[in-house]
């Protein structure tokens, strides 16, 4: 069973930065696409960013483009989400996710149901 373990959340002031990490439990994990989502109470989980390291492509939600960066360290089997210029509206529980198998479309998956494995969630709170 693949496990995704997240770390790096916490409390930060508006305008500050945080970096989230997501480590996969298996180095032979057969996937080439991972993403980050976030959720606030009472709302649906929403897409934040995705990365495919075979095509070296990335995708971002409009609300975070230019402020967040998704990246991957293949040697560590870890995906990162660098979050800069944080705003109070970025406050949420952040989840990393992995899509099983290999993604062949040039368009990266952005829907919750396109991902097969999920991390436990990590709270990010931005104070104004």
The 3-state DSSP class for residue 88 equals helix
pLDDT above 80 for 49:
yes
Q: Which residues contact 126 (CB under 8 A, 6 or more apart)?
A: 11, 12, 13, 14, 16, 86, 87, 88, 89, 90, 91
Ramachandran angles phi, psi of 74, nearest 5°: -65, -35
Please, are residues 61 and 89 in contact by the beta-carbon 8 Å criterion? no
Mean pLDDT of the chain: 92
Tens of pLDDT, residue by residue over 93-118, are 999 999 988 888 889 999 999 999 99
Q: How confident is the model at residue 29 (pLDDT cuts 50, 70, 90)?
A: low
How confident is the model at residue 122, as a pLDDT? 95
Please, are residues 83 and 68 in contact by the beta-carbon 8 Å criterion? yes
How confident is the model at residue 105, as a pLDDT? 82
Please, are residues 60 and 49 in contact by the beta-carbon 8 Å criterion? yes
Tens of pLDDT, residue by residue over 56-98, are 899 999 999 999 999 999 888 899 999 999 999 999 999 999 9
């Amino acid at each position: 069973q693949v496990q995704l373990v997240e770390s790096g959340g916490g409390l930060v002031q508006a305008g500050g930065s945080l970096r989230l990490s997501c480590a996969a439990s298996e180095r032979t994990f057969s996937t080439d696409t991972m993403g980050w989502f976030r959720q606030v109470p009472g709302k649906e989980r929403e897409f934040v960013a995705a990365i495919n390291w075979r095509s070296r492509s990335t995708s971002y939600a409009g609300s975070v483009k230019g402020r967040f960066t998704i990246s991957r360290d293949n040697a560590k089997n870890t995906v990162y989400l660098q979050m800069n210029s944080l705003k109070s509206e970025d406050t949420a529980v952040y989840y990393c996710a992995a899509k099983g198998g290999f993604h062949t479309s040039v368009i990266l998956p952005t829907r919750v149901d396109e991902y097969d494995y999920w991390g436990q969630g990590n709270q990010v709170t931005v104070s104004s």
